[in-house]
Structure 1
Amino acid sequence: MSGGVGREEVVGEFGRHLRIERDLSQHTVRAYLTDVNSLLDHVDGRLEGLDIGVLREWLAGQYRAGKARATLARRTACVRTFTAYCYRRGWLAADPGLLLGSAKAARPLPAVLAQEQAQAVLEAPSAGEPKELRDQALLELLYATGVRVSELCGLDVDDVDRDRRVIRVLGKGRKERSVPFGLPALRAVDRWCIHGRPLWVRARSGAALFLGVRGGRIDAGTVRRVVHARLAQVDGAPDMGPHGLRHSAATHLLEGGADLRSVQELLGHASLNTTQIYTHVSIERLRAAYRQAHPRA
């Protein structure tokens, strides 16, 4: 490679940059390094001659191989990050990624619950067993706050401010935010903490708010199973996971009159463009209702 640097060093240093300086998730780092290795295979492991033509040729090959638009968008973003890093390190004389257009991933509108369906999901009868108390509390909190499933699983008992009715969430990029919630969620969390959680607490529980049946911190897979199972009990409700409750919470907030920037802050979106998809969801729901109800639609 250029300047006497080897492929292994380039990939290793880039991975370290992504983990430490960019603070990207382990999943994202793994995906980016897979993409970089694919690009380096395309150029026989040499950075010399890596220009815009080569980058476009590599991406065109991905397209011909039938890669999804979302995959192509991620690989374009990866390449731009990689070439910029190599240029800063002096491994490239110029940054060809600057000339590479941004591939746009298709963004289908997410499925969301009707407000009546959300109410039915949260009003299922409970016998008061610890599992039922936990499941009710996490469902109420997911819908009340719109937090990501990873954020929910990471909550500690002290992250719940009962007086102010907000939770402290550690989101993407280790950014902390406070998210409000309502009385139904507070009551459900209190019931779990008073009558359910103490029965499951073990030495390994630590300060985790939500626990598994063996006392450890709850995991995302368990939360997904809880959400799918509860939605299956509601007639006509689409099958969705925790992210579907996040979509539903955002859509219902906008339908209730919340402004877009407030919803962006609640959801922890870095860009307002990410939040704007929910305005499209609301408009499509309005159009559907119009077509169904208006005699001259």
Structure 2
Amino acid sequence: MAVVSNPLEEAVLEFGRHLRAERDVSPHTLRAYLGDLEDLCTYARSVGLTEPQALDVSLLRAWLARQHALGRSRATLARRTAAVRTFTRHLHRRGLLENDPGLLLGTPKRTQDLPGVLTQDDAARLLDELDAQGPVGLRDLAVLEVLYGTGVRVSELCGLDIDDLDTGRRTVRVLGKGGRERTVPVGEPAVRAVQDWLRAGRPALANEESGPALFLGARGGRLHPTSARRIVHTRIAEVGEVPDLSPHGLRHSAATHLLEGGADLRSVQEILGHASLQTTQLYTHVSAERLKQVHRQAHPRSVRDHESDSR
């Protein structure tokens, strides 16, 4: 929205400044929200509406209905609904809307595909069989151990500094989404792998570009998330007979295995850094589906009972 031609578009630009300065949203969220609201402005202009005060529930529902007719996914519709709700709430608080029409919008239910996860045996094989020879091998093992052992996001892993790991307490300080800091426990294998990397691997790659970064790329700079993803895919492929997963898949695996081991949902929420418990609850469905799969495969009457129910 480079050229502003009406008051509604100006209100969207002001809202973007508000998100940057006061809400500290991520660049990705900011781009998504402003893109959604730009589409809303285009639709409003097409029906002759150019003032913020013109936003009412009928207009918003008509806009969302058009998005549905254009084949937008449920995830996109849910995000656009969230964007416009946040926008109308902001306008209402500023006195530009007498009432907040966003409160009257329903939220499209998002279909949640169950994420791929490793079995506990697969995770053990991956980490036990990984070739950790040389500086790069030591780094790769430490990267996978920390991703799986803590459940951190790949961006959080790459943002770690050496001092963020407390080997005595076996915790790592993580800067998560929205600048929120949290302390995450880390297991002994991950601590040991990182110590080996710091002792015998990192010095061989470090240079003046390294700074305090815990994990380094081949040229000595801070490890980039793209490189970390490549490491995960490459190392999993080397082991063989282990499902290919991204770093996010290791995060899913860590959460699932925590719940399978008896961890409570609130604790897993804190470890993962989820702002909402609803996000963490996805992993309970993952565990339940895996248990049902095991039951179907292992119980002598499971398939037979299922077939009889279908007749």
TM-score range, shorter chain: over 0.9
Partner of 1:158: 163
CA distance in 1, matches of 2:251, 2:186: 13
Partner of 1:248: 253
Partner of 1:60: 65
CA distance in 2, matches of 1:94, 1:288: 49
Q: What per-residue deviation string (whole Å, max 9, x for no partner) do you get for residues 157-189 of structure 1? A: 000001000000011121111111111111110
Q: Which amino acid aligns with 1:104?
A: K
Of 64-73 and 7-16, the range deviating more from structure 2:
7-16
The answer on 1:15 being equivalent to 2:23 is no
Give SS of 1:123's match: helix
Partner of 2:308: none
Asked whether the equivalents of residues 155 and 210 of structure 1 are also in contact (C-alpha less than 8 Å), the reply is yes
Asked whether the equivalents of residues 117 and 234 of structure 1 are also in contact (C-alpha less than 8 Å), the reply is no
Partner of 1:32: 33
Q: Which amino acid aligns with 1:20?
A: A
Q: Which amino acid aligns with 1:23?
A: D
Q: Which runs of 5+ in 2 are unaligned?
A: 303-311
Compute the displacement of 1:271 (Å).
Answer: 1.4
Q: Which runs of 5+ in 1 are unaligned?
A: none
Q: Which amino acid aligns with 1:41?
A: T
Q: Which amino acid aligns with 1:36?
A: L
CA distance in 2, matches of 1:127, 1:160: 21
Q: Which amino acid aligns with 1:254?
A: L
Which residue, out of 148, 152, 160, partners 2:153?
148
Q: Percent identity?
A: 61
Give SS of 2:16's match: helix
Compute the displacement of 1:103 (Å).
Answer: 2.1
Partner of 2:81: 76
Compute the displacement of 1:47 (Å).
Answer: 2.4
Asked whether the equivalents of residues 130 and 141 of structure 2 are also in contact (C-alpha less than 8 Å), the reply is no
Asked whether the equivalents of residues 129 and 239 of structure 2 are also in contact (C-alpha less than 8 Å), the reply is no
Which residue, out of 249, 268, 272, partners 1:267?
272
The answer on 1:119 being equivalent to 2:124 is yes
CA distance in 2, matches of 1:236, 1:22: 45
Which residue, out of 190, 193, 208, partners 1:188?
193
Asked whether the equivalents of residues 132 and 140 of structure 2 are also in contact (C-alpha less than 8 Å), the reply is no
Identify if the C-alpha distance between structure 1 residues 235 and 201 changes in structure 2 by more than 3 Å, giving closer, same or farther. Answer: closer
Compute the displacement of 1:9 (Å).
Answer: 2.9
The answer on 1:205 being equivalent to 2:206 is no
Give SS of 1:167's match: strand
CA distance in 2, matches of 1:296, 1:23: 54
CA distance in 2, matches of 1:47, 1:159: 46
Partner of 1:290: 295
CA distance in 1, matches of 2:222, 2:295: 45
Give SS of 1:103's match: coil
CA distance in 1, matches of 2:239, 2:220: 29
Q: What per-residue deviation string (whole Å, max 9, x for no partner) do you get for residues 109-131 of structure 1? A: 11100111111111124352111
Asked whether the equivalents of residues 18 and 29 of structure 1 are also in contact (C-alpha less than 8 Å), the reply is yes
The answer on 1:281 being equivalent to 2:282 is no
CA distance in 1, matches of 2:9, 2:69: 28
Identify if the C-alpha distance between structure 1 residues 287 and 127 changes in structure 2 by more than 3 Å, giving closer, same or farther. Answer: closer
Compute the displacement of 1:91 (Å).
Answer: 2.3
Of 25-34 and 44-53, the range deviating more from structure 2:
44-53
Give SS of 2:209's match: helix
Partner of 1:96: 101
Q: What per-residue deviation string (whole Å, max 9, x for no partner) do you get for residues 245-294 of structure 1? A: 00000111111111111111111111111111111111111111111111
Partner of 1:239: 244
**What TM-score do you get using the length of structure 2 for normalisation?**
0.91
**What TM-score do you get using the length of structure 1 for normalisation?**
0.95
